[in-house]
Amino acid sequence: MQTGQPSAQPSVYRVLTTVNAPRALHIDAVTLVDCLLLRCLDQKWRPHVRSYFQEVGVSAIHDMVIEGVVDFDGLVRALETWGVEEFDNARWIREMAGEPMA
């Protein structure tokens, strides 16, 4: 589910500061969202996706869902596809995917 352009959503830019901070190669908003939505599976972005699931706070992930950039079911698929299910955020995302959003 994507309702708007990722580049127009403030939550994506907050996330980018975390996933790009320690890396020489920076990912842009559109590419990060494409990776999370599995439209881009280029392995050069795997460290950024791992960082998203490991280092980004749940409040920022939740903001991306609220803004319609991603949804929890899609994030579960991304966890599985990118093989990053070992992080604490993965459990929370799975729990959120099982609950209907009001």
pTM of the model: 0.88
DSSP string, 64-97: HHHTTS--HHHHHHHHHHHT-TTSHHHHHHHHHH
Q: What is the pLDDT of residue 3?
A: 43
Which residue stretches of the chain have pLDDT < 50?
Answer: 1-4
How many angstroms separate the CA atoms of 102 and 100, rounded? 6
DSSP string, 3-33: -S-GGG-HHHHHHHHHHHTT-SSPPPHHHHH
Q: Would you mind telling me the total number of residues written for the chain in this entry?
A: 102
How many angstroms separate the CA atoms of 70 and 56, rounded? 15
